[in-house]
Amino acid sequence: MLSFDVERKLVPCVYEVSYQKGNPPCLILRINKEFLEKNKKRKPSEETISSYKKEFSFKKFSFFENNLFGFDNALGRGKVKGEFVEYIIKLIPFKRKTSNPCKYCYGTGWNKNLQMKCSFCEGEKLETIYDYTPLNAISASFELLTRLIESSEEISNSKKSQLFTFQIGIGYEKASYPIWGSYGIEFCCWLNSFSKGKRFPDVIKAMQEVYEFIYQKEGTSYDFDAYVEENAWLIINCPGEACGIHPEGYSWKKGQGRDFSCHNMDTPVQQIILLTALAVLSDMAQLEIL
């Protein structure tokens, strides 16, 4: 398994994740071309795909056909950069306005009973729809893809090392959206090069950008945090009930990687925010490690 290996030795890079600011903000997944070609025939069973579609109301699934991967076009192919193929994940707002009048205030934007702005349309007079389906499509697509990567016996021919791995889970009925993985040796050494209590402002800013884009509202800055303590002890927090990722175990030795886990992951938004944080850290680390 890739996650097991990266904690114990330098492993050729199979994939990496990056963050791209914009409207919409995007996550970029880069997969080693040779590794991808060797795994293109390992499509999940129709039974597995159908179960996801039924559970989450997805319409379609693509397994690298027509430059797409995942449910409902969640990952779209981008550029080929050297030994990697890019897949772009465009983030989508959870809250969207339609052209229909708000049914709670009848399109006035005003709550006559309470004599205040309508809380459902926020005074904008239009119907508001709240829909996790496109975000669930991203999580479910990552779950299948990371599962495929972890179970593959193929190796990458990359000259770079795998900085870290991540795996995604999705359990709609249980409101469970875990993220876990392993930090590689080089990544841990990079984290440990910072002074104790070092915060990462660029990571915090990106997390807040993604939160505000998805929810279409301003986030509270103290709900976001990303810092490292000694021994590569990386902590990343986002809005929720003590929601975030943290290392497993307390001991760490130079020349080793370490695994990480999460706490109280209730929505796909939290999952995407934390993955954004890892993507920004990956961008930063690669500038200094390579």
**Contact predicate 34/181, CB 8 Å:** no
Distances (CA, A) of 124 to 61, 102, 134, 154, 218: 35, 8, 24, 53, 17
Amino acid at 221: S
Q: Are 273 and 265 in contact (CB under 8 A)?
A: no
User: Exposed, middle or buried, 127 (CB in 10 Å: 0-12/13-18/19+)?
Assistant: middle
Whether the upstream peptide bond of residue 24 has omega within 30° of 0, thus cis, is yes
Q: Give the residue from 187, 191, 279, 276 showing the smallest Cα distance to 229.
A: 191
Q: Where is 243: in which H helix or E strand?
A: strand 243-247
- Predicted pLDDT at 290: 65
Q: Which pairing describes strands 164-168 and 126-130: parallel, antiparallel, or unpaired?
A: unpaired
Percentage of the chain with pLDDT > 90?
A: 74
- For 75-79, 173-177, 276-280, which range has the lowest pLDDT when averaged over its residues? 173-177
Is the whole model's pTM more than 0.85, yes or no? yes
pLDDT digits (tens, 9 = 90+) for 116-157: 999 888 899 999 888 899 999 999 999 999 999 999 999 899
Residue 68 forms beta bridges with which residues? Answer: 76
Report pLDDT digits (tens) over 181-232. Answer: 999 999 999 999 998 999 999 999 999 999 999 988 877 777 899 999 999 9
pLDDT of residue 118: 92
Task: Give the per-residue pLDDT at 172.
Answer: 56
